[in-house]
Chains A and B, each alone.
Chain A
Amino acid sequence: MNIIEKNLLGLSPTKARSVCYYVFRKLKQAKIFNDYSKDPFIEADSSAPDEEVMAKTKELIFSIEAAENTTADRFDDATYSMWVNSIFEFEKSLSANLAPTARVQKFLNRDL
């Protein structure tokens, strides 16, 4: 079990997906969040995370930074890419691997 699975064990898929999203955002913009004092959780009212999601996000970021022995804003490209890919793969695994519905097929075949 890797760090991501260990931290998100027991969370509902919805909450685990939210945590992945915020960790992804935090890693991607770590330097910017520091330089601009932006809060990775701040978005529109409707998508504000609940306490458990915020706590798990912070725990996972802390675990990742501890594993790398540095803060996210100091990650080099290879380290950043490795964690982003790991989070993306985990988040993707939260979805049931079903055959696409007819509506999905039709949607994917459309043009703007």
Chain B
Amino acid sequence: MDIKKITNPVLYSTMTELAFNVNSQFYGGRHYLWCTPYFGSNYQSPHFTVPPSSSPLEIYTTLKNEIVGSDRHANKIPLNRVGIRKGAEAMRARGLITEEDLQDIIQISDLAQPQQFRPLLCVIPRENAIASYKKVEVKDKANPLSYECIVSDLPQSAFDIIRLD
């Protein structure tokens, strides 16, 4: 949804440490984040209007479980590997990284150990997110109250990162 319709003062997002490091080294510290104003501790509440899989807490917990190997149907880490490569392709297409960068990111995403996908909780002041916000394209026809938005090219200085260990 349009971030300007979100009135909550803080947005949350969960990313992996590997994605954070790739963004820091190759993309000038600019981050691409799926955000929601709900941390997710109450994601089973009827008032929580994003899918459970979009809950930052749920994502955080899932990643942690995959790293320790306790999730039999683990797929978050493989999806993150693919997502990092897809993101690098997009950055290459925009001319923001070189072909050498792209190939290195692909190698990094292939070779990274599960522990390098440790989750990080990103806490983003709404006003900071708006400053970097381009256009939200998430359509939720069946659930117009679903509060999810994408913020791209967000500088590292615009948000805090927390580990819930």
Choose the segment among B36-44, B75-83, B121-129 that binds chain A (4+ C-beta atoms closer than 8 Å).
Answer: B75-83
B contact set with A: CB distance below 8 Å: 17, 20-21, 25, 32, 51, 53-54, 73, 75, 78-79, 81-83, 85-87, 89-90, 93-94, 103-104, 106-108, 110-113, 116, 120, 134-135, 137-143, 146, 150, 152
Complex contacts, B104 vs chain A, CB 8 Å: 101, 103-104, 107
Contact B140 A46 (CB under 8 A): no
29 interchain pairs, CB-CB under 8 A = A14-B93, A21-B83, A28-B75, A32-B53, A35-B143, A36-B140, A36-B146, A37-B140, A37-B141, A38-B139, A42-B137, A42-B138, A43-B137, A43-B150, A44-B135, A44-B150, A45-B137, A46-B94, A84-B75, A91-B82, A95-B106, A100-B111, A104-B104, A104-B108, A104-B111, A107-B104, A108-B112, A108-B116, A112-B21
Extra A-B contacts (13), CB below 8 Å, given A24-B79, A108-B108, A110-B21: A17-B85, A18-B89, A25-B79, A37-B140, A37-B141, A44-B134, A44-B137, A46-B90, A47-B87, A91-B82, A107-B21, A108-B112, A108-B116
